Chains A and B, each alone.
Chain A
Amino acid sequence: MSQYVFQQIINGLALGSLYALVAIGFSMIYGIVRLINFAHGDLVMIGAFTTLALVGYGVPWPLILMFVLLVGALAGMTIEATVFRPMRGAQQVTGFIATLAVSIVIQNTGLMILSGQPRNFLFPAFMRQRVQIGTVSASLTDLTIIGLTVVLIALLLVIVYRTRLGTAMRATADNLAAARLMGIAVNRTILTAFAIGSALAAAAGLLWGGKFGQIDPLLGFAPGLKAFIACVIGGVGSIGGAMLGGYLLGLAEVLFVGLLPPQFAGYRDVFVFTLLIVILLLKPSGLFVRHVEERA
């Protein structure tokens, strides 16, 4: 494999990892409360700035990661408990508008406190070196993003599919009324879904800053939108679908730019959205959702 193609694939996997991390949480939240949460991307921004602040205090990186996960979880839980919970049972469009409002509040609070000036965001110098693998090489930053994402996703899958709380979360997403009849405190399982999903988005913020080198209070918009698209591609409400949709989207974006003549590079979103439309036309329920026939 040529270095160029290899580099593009690693690049695509790294970008896909970021999309997948954000998309999984987006999907979990939709799955459990049927809410298209447009504030979800702003957790990425919160994660990125939390990282920046802690770096400034000289906190060691493993601790920073723990802290960012915690801050993300707390922020997600706060939003759910104060804004979304009181609206439970209201019309879907009410919730949708509320998520937009939360997003705007977070972004503008960010602008007020931090100003719109982009800040440099630096991983330690050694992270910028390249790792030689046989005849090809990759940046350590990209490899770290990919590796850490795999670890976080594995952890998430264990929680969701192998623990009592995770099963209760899936039960709540499957049938809320029945879950309540089983004695599941659904407010708690919903809160957990927000905590986990938001923690993953915040972790994506840490990595996002490292990959792109600059952050600003409005940076959450792009990952939020891409996560939404990844979910639609993969099948809304499915964790596996969101993950695969995220990777597919990341790879597709990078490959469009990398393999097409340079004059098309500026139009990569055109290709991405064309891909989205084609997928929706061919398979409206998403690529990775096997439609389970429900019996009455």
Chain B
Amino acid sequence: MAVQMLEVHDLHVFRGATHVLKGISLDVREGEMAALIGANGAGKSTTLQTLSGLLRPRSGTAVFRGTSGPVDLTRAAPERIVGEGLVQSPEGRQIFQSLSVAENLAMGAYLRTDRNEVRRTLERVHDLFPILKERASAAGGTLSGGEQMMLAIGRALLAQPRLLLLDEPSLGLAPQMIERIFDVIATLKQQGTTILLVEQNAAMALDIADRAYVLENGVITLSGTGPELAGNDRVRRAYLGMAQ
């Protein structure tokens, strides 16, 4: 049986008075790419923010198999979670606008102490996205939307993720750029990074994911392999824009 990288059970999360996640359970296995799809406001970003320790659940469990053993994500501080290898590239990119591209990437490696290894990761990121090397001293805020997305992914990679959470990497990008980003995501997976991908662009997500979950109004209503869900009538109608 595959090793579980992430196990979430019956997670309830409130935002203010709103009950946003109503008992979701999911798991991500080592080496796979899992996808979480759903409409606007379903609670996808809330899920990822909870896993990163930015939001605390009312109840339920979330355990991540970190570098030094199991990590209780419902209690651990965000910096501990990152240090254990669970790294998120947040929705809307959220790069540091006033910091240079190089400084943005350095902040990704904030918790790492081995300079040689960091340099190696940086070279790998520069190979994936040469533009980040060319524009190393430009302020993050002056990059185009696509370049900012590359920077956001590059920054996350510098944290050396064992499990990479990607929140809508296709958001606001031109089709060509989306393809490029998804190519990179596929490459990362091949190189052994475990990925949990959140997308509204369900067609692309189901195309590259091993398994996927459908989140509706804070409840997981469907799960299965990518092809299974892509063939499911309900998914085809609601998320893939196909007539029955």
Contact = CB atoms under 8 A, between A and B. Distances in A.
A180 B79 contact: yes
Contact of B96 (A175, A185, A292, A295): A175
B82 A181 contact: yes
A269 interface: no
Contacts of A184: 79, 107, 110
Contact of B107 (A171, A185, A292, A296): A171
Interface residues of B, number: 33
Given A168-B110, A170-B99, A181 B172 contact: no
Interface in A177-191: 177-185
A150 B155 CA distance: 35
A179 B107 contact: yes
Nearest to B112: A183
Given A167-B103, A168-B107, A185 B97 contact: no
Interface string B135-173: 000010111110010000001000100000000000010
Nearest to B144: A295
Contacts of A164: 106, 110
B54 A177 contact: yes
A174 B104 CA distance: 11
Contacts of B52: 180-181
Contacts of B95: 175, 178
B83 interface: yes
B139 A292 contact: yes
Nearest to A292: B141
Nearest to B90: A181
A170 B110 contact: no
B145 A296 contact: yes
B117 to A, nearest CB: 16
Nearest to A173: B98
A15 B53 CA distance: 47
- Max count, chain A CB within 10 A of own CB: residue among B52, B79, B145: B79
Contacts of B98: 170, 174, 292
A171 B155 contact: no
B141 A182 contact: no
Contacts of B222: none
Nearest to B79: A183
Interface in B83-116: 83, 87-88, 90, 94-99, 103, 106-108, 110-111
B77 interface: yes
Given A181-B54, A181-B78, A295 B110 contact: no
Contacts of B172: 296
Contacts, number: 79
User: Which of A167, A170, A178, A185 lies at the interface centre, i.e. has the most chain B CB atoms within 10 A of its CB?
Assistant: A178
Interface string A25-64: 0000000000000000000000000000000000000000
A295 B141 contact: yes
Given A167-B107, A168-B110, A174-B96, A180 B144 contact: no
Contacts of B145: 295-296
B108 A185 contact: no
A219 to B, nearest CB: 35
A89 to B, nearest CB: 12
B99 A182 contact: no
Nearest to B155: A182
A180 B78 contact: yes
A293 B145 CA distance: 13
Nearest to B102: A167
Nearest to B158: A182
Contacts of B77: 185
A177 B95 CA distance: 10
Contact of B90 (A168, A177, A292, A295): A177
B155 to A, nearest CB: 7
Interface string A277-296: 00000000000000011111
Contacts of B142: 292
24 contacts: A167-B99, A167-B106, A171-B99, A171-B103, A175-B97, A177-B94, A178-B90, A179-B107, A180-B52, A180-B78, A181-B54, A181-B78, A181-B87, A181-B88, A181-B94, A182-B108, A182-B155, A183-B78, A183-B111, A184-B79, A292-B139, A292-B142, A295-B145, A295-B148
Given A177-B54, A177-B94, 17 more contacts: A167-B99, A170-B96, A171-B96, A171-B103, A174-B99, A175-B94, A175-B96, A180-B52, A180-B53, A182-B110, A183-B78, A183-B83, A183-B111, A185-B79, A294-B97, A295-B141, A295-B144
